[in-house]
Structures are given as C-alpha cells and as structure tokens.
Structure 1
Amino acid sequence: MKTIAFFVPQYHRIPLNDKYWGEGFTEWDNIRNAKPEFEGHNQPRVPLNNNYYNLLDRDTKAWQIELAKKYGLYGFCYYHYWFDGERLLEKPCEQILEDKTLDFPFCFCWANEAWSMQWTGEKKVIMPQKYGREESWKKHFEYLIPFFEDERYIKEDGKPIFVIYRPEAIECLNEMIDYWKKLASDHGLPGIVIMSQSPYFILDKSFDKSRIDYEIEYQPGVANKLLNQNEHKLLKKVRHRVLDVLEQKFAIDLSGYGQNIRKKMEKNQFPSYDDTWNKIISRKVDDAKLIPGAFTDWDNSPRYHERAQVYMGATPEKFGEYFSQLIQKAKNEYKKNYIFIFAWNEWGEGGYLEPDTINKYGYLENMYKALKANDALEDNNG
C-alpha cells in the first residue's frame, strides 16, 4: 500500500512573508500564538521537544525521512507553489533534489490558489494565480522535469504522478494537460499521471474530468461536504439535542460564552471526528478513478481563531482503527494501492503525523499498526 502524506513546506523564512507578516515570520508563529477557543480545546499544539524546526536544515529533512520510514509511510506529497513562473517555498524540495542521500519517495501537489491574506479575514491577494498559455505551461513543466526524472519521484508505470489541488479553477485545464503529455513524451517519459485533490471537483459531476487519471478523496473535506449535503437537517437536530442534554441533564449553563458554543455547533464548526470517519468508511465507491483519503485530525484555529472549524473526538487510537478499516476498503473496493493522508505536518490546521507533546508518537504508531495488521507495509520501508 503506497501510503502518501501531504507535506507543507511553510516552515522557513521567505521574503514575501517577511514583507506582509513581519520579519522572520513562518507558520510556527501561528502555531505558537494559538489559544484555546473553548474549555478543553487542545491549543496551542506543541511539537515534541519544542521541535519548531527550520525546513532549510538538512538534519530536519533527514529526521522526517527517518521517522516516516520507521513507521511505514511510503512517501511525501509536497505542496508546490507556482504562480505563472513565480515560485514560493521551493527551496526545501530543491535541496532534496540536489541531495540524493535524502532517499525517500516523493511527488508534488500544485497548490494552485492565489496567495492571499484570507485566513486573517482580509481578501487581499499577495500573489495572484494565472495560468497563461503554452509558453507558460512549458516553463512550468521544464521546472518540474528534473524532479520527474529523479529516481525518488513517485511514478506509475514510469509516469510521474502530479496532483493538482483545484483543477476546477484552471479554465485551460484540458489544453494544459494535453500539452504537458506532449512535453513528457518529448523528454522521454511514457506520460504523466494527473490526480485531483479538490473536494469541490470530486463531488461535482458537471466538470470535464476526461484528462484526470485519479481523484483523491481529500479528507476530511469530502466527507464533511457529503455529511452537510445529505444529512444537514438531521445533524442540526442532533447538535441541538446534544446541547439541550448538556443544559438539562448536566446543569451546564450555556448562556453567554456557552451560547457562542451553540452557534458554532449550529454552523458545523465542531464536526464529529467519528461521524466523519464513519462517512469515509461507508462511502460508496462509484468511480474507478477514486483514490481513498485519510485524516489524522483537523483544527484550523491557529489561523482562523474564533472562525475555526474544530473536529471533536480525535485520538491516535481512533485514527488507527479507522485507518485500518480504510486500508481494507482500499483493497476490496477501491482496488488501488494508494492512500493519501492529511497530513505529515499541517500544524496550522491540526493535521499532522509528527509527534507532539500530548500524543507523542501516537499517530505514527497507530498508522504503523494498521499497515502491519493489514499486510500493507511497503518492502522498501523495512
């Protein structure tokens, strides 16, 4: 089973962040400054041994690879930031390309959204996203070629895998992919495998998906949208009932601050971890292109504060059990040998396999147990 974790490269300084967020800003600033939004809220999340690493340090990348191998992960899917020729956060992957001793499978996910100040509540765009035409597509592909040709890059039948975060945003998607396939042939590659990540794209049947080889069920986004679409009224009733029981049976006063909690629950800001995972496991596999997705946890309050969505009830043990069920489902229903996990190190949204002070190595340990129990460990990871 090729278990691939999404990996964000935000943990080092770049001039653009210095300019807009302040000298020396990285994603760790949001993590450190997070505060509990309600009683019992697990914030701030603290890396084990205060390991607020710098991704430009080789030792950090070596540590991550060693850890991933030890616990049975197959590879990383690094977010790739390309804005019509402009690059951001590219240095960690360029360093990996040059250092063959950092030996671990990887692929790219093009995070093709504009770079904005959205999480602050402002709509200001810092780096717009444009897609250009053939000259621009060629420049992008030629930047990717050294990665695609690297022996560590994840391929299917010799074809490099390239994930697009939001293909529905690309008005020239089909033309661009057709041109890339031609360029792949020109460079001696047998082709290129295109995967989508967007929950919007996967759930909207009106999009032309003819050029997309696989659609990743990015979680918890896909399950959350399905729950909202199909069970919104029922869930709203359940949330009301839960709050009523808290008030009446346990004499909890939900006036004042508690009313704010009620409003958040009504807006689906506190989804159930168990309900979401049960939706993932029970979802009907109705398309041969689908690839299953897993998630460790979700809590984006370090970025969105009181507007955050916080999944309730996550534990490493639950993750391990649900992940085990998903592996079985992948083998029996999806019949694919990929699972994409949210995430290796998305600390700003509460999704990470890396160890923290509360769970220690719990998510990694339970991932390994699930892979081992289902005979899904890749030989090259030991």
Structure 2
Amino acid sequence: MNKKLLLSGLLIVTVFIFSACKHSSGKIDTESEYIVAAFYWPAYHYEPRAEFLFPDRKGEWEIIYNAVPKEEGHQQPKIPLWGYLNEADPTDMDKKITEAVNYDINTFIFDWYWYDGQPFLESCINDGFLKANNGRMNFYLMWANHDATTYWDVDNPKIDSVIWKGGVDREQFDIVVDRVINHYFKDPSYLKINGEPVFSIYELNTLINGLGGAEQTKKALEHFTEKTKEAGFPGLHLQSILWQALPNTIEGVPGDTIKSQDEVLSYFGFKSLTNYCWAHLQNPDGDYEVWGDASTEMWDQFHNDFSMTYFPNVTVGWDANPRFLFKAGYINNSTPQKFKRYLLKAKSHVDHYNIEPKIITINAWNEWSEGSYLEPDTIWEYQYLDAVKNVFGTIDKR
C-alpha cells in the first residue's frame, strides 16, 4: 500500500434508530413486520475536503483496491461484485436501494458528519440517496461525532493526529439542529417512531465535552427537542450507541446520584439504544463464531440493565487492515451461514422480549474498509443478502 494518510478516525460511527411501519411516516415497501436496518458508511464518492487523503477522487475505494495481504492467508483486497460504484450518483445509488429492498433491507442508517462548521461526506445522501430513493426505503442519521484522525507514520503507526475535532460548541450545535431538521427530518422517508424523528448520537462523551458539561448538554438536547416540535413533530427520538464512549456517571450535576449508563441516558432524554458493531463489545481478533457468541450473549444483560429499549445488532465481520500500514487484528472464518445463525438469534431476541418496533440493526451495508458489508463481493456474491432474505423475507429463485 502507498505510504499515505489513511482516514481511520472516520471508521467508527454509529447508532441507530428505526421504527416499525405502523410508527413511521416513511414508505417501506415490505411485508415484513421487522425493521432490518443496515449502517451505511458514505465514504465511497469524491469528497473535496478529503482529496488530500484520496487523490484518485474515488473516496475510500482507493484504499480498498490498493489493499494487500498482511500475512499468508489474509484475504485482501476485497473486490466488489458491482464494481467501484459512485454512491453520490443517483444511478449508482438506485442499484444499491433496489437490491437492498429486494433482499429485505428496508432502512439505511447513514453515518453523518460535521467538522469545522460544515458537513462532511453529505453528497452520498443529498445527491445520491435522496434523488434515487422515491420513498422505497426509510433512512435516518447517526451523528458520527468522533474526531477524524490519521495513522500515517509507518515507523510509529500508533501515533495519531487529529484532522478535525468531533466535538462542537453550542453555536455549532444549534446550526446542526437546524440543518438536520430542515434537510432531513422533513423528508417523508425519514424514519420516525410514534411520529418522532429518530436521531442517533455516536459519542455522548464527545458531545458533553464539546458543549462544556452535562448540564449544558441536557439544555442543548432539550432545545433540539423543542425545535423539532416547532417543526411540526410530536417530539424527538434520541438513540445512543452502547459502548465505552457512553459514560456511566456524570460528575458536577447538582445533586448528582447518577452512577450507571442507564441513568446517564435517562438524564439526557434518550429513548433507545443499540450497538454499532461487535468490535465495540469484544476484541475483533480470531474466529467469527467465538466473537459472535461472546457478543450476542450480552444481549440479555443489555435488555435487563436499561430502562429504554435495546435493539440487537448483528455484525457481518471485521478486518480494518486496508486502513493501516501495520497489521491489525481481524476476524476470520466468517460465512453467510454463520451470519444467518445470528440473524435468527436476533429475531428470536426481539420476539422473546416483545420488543416494539421490531428492529434489528446490521453492521453494515458497505463497511468495505472494516471488512463488514452486505454488498456482494466476488467471493460470496449475494449469499449474505440471501441470508437476510431467508430470515426476514421470501427468497426468490435465482
């Protein structure tokens, strides 16, 4: 791989929120009672602000087709069956939407960014998805508010530097609120639960630090809710991602007795949560089933520990080595058949606890640079999508 800046800070993104058809004003063309929501990483198009990272002007596709094996038997590069599509082109995005809906993926969760007073990687949504969708899928935003960092020193690759800070002050927060409400919440396909637009926040710690503390963050989120109501909605459905960026205590709040993650989320007004990927729960290194069993065995604890709704997540795999000059740990022995077993487990979890809406999140639709994608590659072709349709729909004769 060429010795160049690799965008690694833009790899962990998350959080999701979805709703059953009866709770949503979006149009989902499916007979399934389940909301199958796949995270979407919008980095596979030309982004002018990232040209210094990806001079070929193809976004992160550049590190995918330049990837090399880090050891014998390491399966790199990954090769997309559809070729290197431009997701900001509505024609290319139309293919993604069509195939997603055909295979019972009925919601995209777009990672959404705001750096240095302006959006980042937004063309995928604005120029691609919104122009091609025509009400076929629901979508919502997860504010991926982490720092954007680079790993660039081949001799000392664990030293990273910040390109853009993910935290925002109150002035920038209010700008984000207005943009999200006016550009996205008002779209008929934007996912809503009980009429409330769903908005996910990836790093609560980063939000708190940027806004200056817990009290200031609570006031900012209350302002967000009020602005959403002023726009004609009954409220705002906040969802959090469950991992180490979710604090388990809040210091400095008058009369503070908050000593658990559940109390933290309740304090700020969150209504649901989920995981972004299993890499946030268990070390992503080794056998897929060992990793998957350990991660999914945590679901019952999450259900019991939180007063708000927990939606289970199923992860396709993990191998972020295309982003690094050094060898990082990765998951091996993953197959569509094994993936299907965890989809069935997620469906059973939702049914057992009578979770409504019946949401299952998947990492991911297209995390090619993290080795976790449903889009067909030249090895498995459509088999991962077939697994989804086998569990949540009716498989077509191919």
**TM-score normalised by the chain length of structure 2:** 0.77
Structure 1 counterpart of 2:255: none
Structure 2 counterpart of 1:247: none
The answer to whether the 8 Å contact 1:321/1:370 transfers is no
> 1:354 and 1:182, CA in 2 relative to 1: closer, same or farther beyond 3 A?
same
CA-to-partner distance for each residue in 1:340-360, whole Å, 9 max, x for gaps? 110000000001000000000
Q: Residue 140 of structure 1: which of 161, 164, 176 is its match?
A: 176
Which protein has the larger Cα radius of gyration, Structure 1 or Structure 2? 1
- 1:60 lines up with 2:92 in the alignment: yes
Output the amino acid matched with 2:348.
Q
- Measured after TM superposition, the shift of residue 57 of structure 1 is 1.3
The answer to whether the 8 Å contact 1:119/1:303 transfers is no
Moved more, 274-283 or 5-14: 274-283
Structure 1 counterpart of 2:46: 13
> 1:10 and 1:322, CA in 2 relative to 1: closer, same or farther beyond 3 A?
same
2: CA distance between counterparts of 1:150 and 1:298? 33
Structure 2 counterpart of 1:45: 78
> 1:203 and 1:116, CA in 2 relative to 1: closer, same or farther beyond 3 A?
closer
1: CA distance between counterparts of 2:132 and 2:388? 28
Structure 1 counterpart of 2:20: none
Where does 1:221-370 land on structure 2 (aligned, <5 Å)? Answer: 221-224=279-282, 270-283=285-298, 284=300, 285-286=303-304, 287-289=306-308, 290-333=310-353, 335-336=355-356, 337-370=358-391
CA-to-partner distance for each residue in 1:326-368, whole Å, 9 max, x for gaps? 1111221362411111000000000100000000001000111
Q: Residue 67 of structure 2: which of 30, 34, 38 is its match?
A: 34
The answer to whether the 8 Å contact 1:17/1:25 transfers is no
2: CA distance between counterparts of 1:177 and 1:65? 32
Q: Residue 105 of structure 1: which of 138, 151, 154 is its match?
A: 138
Q: Residue 164 of structure 1: which of 198, 201, 204 is its match?
A: 201
Output the amino acid matched with 2:238.
I
The answer to whether the 8 Å contact 2:104/2:392 transfers is yes
CA-to-partner distance for each residue in 1:103-133, whole Å, 9 max, x for gaps? 3210001110122214763522222233211
Structure 1 counterpart of 2:222: 178
Where does 1:70-149 land on structure 2 (aligned, <5 Å)? Answer: 70-83=102-115, 85-95=117-127, 96-98=129-131, 101=134, 103-118=136-151, 121=157, 122-133=159-170, 135-145=171-181, 146-149=183-186
Q: Which runs of 5+ in 1 are unaligned?
A: 225-267, 378-382
2: CA distance between counterparts of 1:119 and 1:152? 40
2: CA distance between counterparts of 1:335 and 1:305? 43
Structure 2 counterpart of 1:24: 57
Which of the two has greater helix per residue?
Answer: 1
- 1:187 lines up with 2:231 in the alignment: yes
1: CA distance between counterparts of 2:281 and 2:125? 31
**TM-score normalised by the chain length of structure 1:** 0.80
- Measured after TM superposition, the shift of residue 273 of structure 1 is 1.1
> 1:110 and 1:34, CA in 2 relative to 1: closer, same or farther beyond 3 A?
same
CA RMSD of aligned residues (A): 2.2
> 1:97 and 1:295, CA in 2 relative to 1: closer, same or farther beyond 3 A?
same
Identity %: 28
Output the amino acid matched with 2:112.
H
Structure 2 counterpart of 1:257: none
CA-to-partner distance for each residue in 1:262-321, whole Å, 9 max, x for gaps? xxxxxx662321122212332223224221111011111111253322112200111011
> 1:180 and 1:141, CA in 2 relative to 1: closer, same or farther beyond 3 A?
same
- Measured after TM superposition, the shift of residue 23 of structure 1 is 4.9
1: CA distance between counterparts of 2:278 and 2:247? 13
Q: Which runs of 5+ in 2 are unaligned?
A: 1-33, 212-216, 249-258
SS in 2 for 1:103: coil
- Measured after TM superposition, the shift of residue 85 of structure 1 is 2.8
SS in 2 for 1:19: coil
- Measured after TM superposition, the shift of residue 150 of structure 1 is 1.0
> 1:98 and 1:43, CA in 2 relative to 1: closer, same or farther beyond 3 A?
closer
